[in-house]
Amino acid sequence: MCLVDGAAIFSAGGGGDPESGYTIVNGLTESGYEVELVDPSKVPQDAIVVNFACVGATAAGAYHSKAAAKTFQTLEEYLGRKAYAVIPIELGGANTLVAVDVATRLGIPVVDADGAGRAVPEVHLKVYTIDDIPIAPMAIADIHARNVVLVEETLDSRSAERIARALATEWGQIAYTARRVLTGKCVKTSPILYTLSQSIRIGMLLEKAVDPVRVVLNETNGFRLFEGVVDKIERETKAGFTWTNIALKGNRENKRSKFECKAKNEVLVAYKDDKLVAVAPDIITPVHPETGKCITAEKIKKADKLVILGIPAPEKWRTTRGLELWRDTLQRSGMQETYVPIERLGH
């Protein structure tokens, strides 16, 4: 459960519903499985590691272990060799756990790393793209793995996003994907390292903290962007995404202020009193004011009390190429903001 709660802190309100993550953990525990977490530095140089996740709208939350494992094995069959380990595509209360589930049920380790250091809205939006590691070959399947598509090659990473999104939309807004085959050598340098152990540590602290929000901020070098009550919410699921606009009225020290944030699966931009206070790739996560646990964007309701956290993005996202990838995603999502590091926006 600690991994679920900790990974969700970096989800920016996306990454799947933590309740789905809890269900996966309970299923593994009840079946007597033990999760093996492997240090990236210990992965053999010539081994292969495969990324696994769900893709689609965050509001579409079904998951079936056998179907997910079948998707992964389809890619292994194409490659003609077994994967040494699985690595999560991103951090999130559900999407990190689906990778853990597949690895554990197939009897292989999970690498203590992920492809983004946060949750992200699009398939190609991973740090691997910065390093020119191709997405394909890629196996994509519907939620029951009745339809499994193998993509051998794509023109570029954006093409892979369009293919995966189209199939997810066709199959009820969600699909499984096994993709981004990494060598052991690559695993040591390309992903965001040691994020699962960091998430577990944060989850453990949340369980016993007197002031959970403060603990999270201390652990992440984050900022308390706003505290208030949801005044208005608009939500629509379409084209493989859950789009959410959230407006809050402030309370306590924010009593005379208002706050707005916009999500495309993940929260991507936030304003306080109409001034920009955070923008992706920095992480904007809504949490419960008393527990400090993430409340994902698709679960937020009117009158909910929230604290909005802002967490600096991993440095790899703040490189020129990393910011170019995010700028393209934001602009296609109707968000024209220029990136300014969260620590320079004044909180």
pLDDT tens-digit readout, 225-253: 999 999 999 999 988 899 999 999 998 88
- 347 pLDDT exceeds 70? no
Which residues make Cβ contacts (< 8 Å) with residue 214, sequence separation at least 6?
none
Q: What is the pLDDT of residue 252?
A: 80
The answer to whether residue 217 is domain-embedded is: no
The answer to whether residue 208 is domain-embedded is: no
For residue 219, count CB atoms less than 10 angstroms from its CB and return exposed for 0-12, middle for 13-18, buried for 19 or more.
Answer: middle
The answer to whether residue 213 is domain-embedded is: no
The answer to whether residue 41 is domain-embedded is: yes
- 103 pLDDT exceeds 80? yes
Q: What is the mean pLDDT of residues 61-79?
A: 94
- 148 pLDDT exceeds 70? yes
**Over the range 45-56, which residues count as b (16 or more CB within 10 Å of their CB) and which as e?**
eebbbbbbbbbb
**What domain range includes position 327?**
222-344
The answer to whether residue 204 is domain-embedded is: no
- Unique residue bearing structure tokens 């016993």: 208
Pick from 200, 259, 270, 188: nearest CA to 13: 270
- 61 pLDDT exceeds 80? no
Q: What is the pLDDT of residue 240?
A: 85
The answer to whether residue 238 is domain-embedded is: yes
Tell me: do 185 and 64 sit in the same domain: yes
Question: For the segment 5-22, what is each residue's pLDDT rounded down to a tens digit?
Answer: 999 999 999 999 999 999
Tell me: do 257 and 179 sit in the same domain: no
Tell me: do 18 and 82 sit in the same domain: yes
Tell me: do 80 and 176 sit in the same domain: yes
Q: What is the pLDDT of residue 60?
A: 62
Tell me: do 168 and 269 sit in the same domain: no
CA distance 82 to 66: 17
Q: What is the mean pLDDT of residues 321-337?
A: 95
The answer to whether residue 11 is domain-embedded is: yes
Asked if residues 118 and 11 have their Cβ atoms less than 8 Å apart, the reply is: yes
Q: How much of the chain exceeds pLDDT 90, in percent?
A: 92
Q: What is the pLDDT of residue 56?
A: 86
Tell me: do 169 and 59 sit in the same domain: yes
- Here the CATH number for the domain that contains residue 227 is 2.40.390.10
Question: For the segment 165-214, what is each residue's pLDDT rounded down to a tens digit?
Answer: 999 999 998 999 999 999 999 999 999 999 999 999 999 999 999 999 99
Tell me: do 153 and 261 sit in the same domain: no
**DSSP-derived pairing of the beta strands 37-38 and 110-111:** parallel
**Window from 56-65, 72-81, 169-178, 256-265 with minimum mean pLDDT:** 56-65
Q: Please provide the average confidence, as pLDDT, over all residues in the chain.
A: 95
- 346 pLDDT exceeds 80? no
For the chain, what is the domain count?
2
Q: What is the pLDDT of residue 2?
A: 95
Q: What is the pLDDT of residue 223?
A: 97
Tell me: do 182 and 235 sit in the same domain: no
More confident residue, 58 or 285: 285
CA distance 294 to 115: 20
Q: What is the mean pLDDT of residues 299-322?
A: 97
The answer to whether residue 205 is domain-embedded is: no
Q: What is the pLDDT of residue 59?
A: 65
Q: How confident is the model at residue 151 (pLDDT cuts 50, 70, 90)?
A: very high
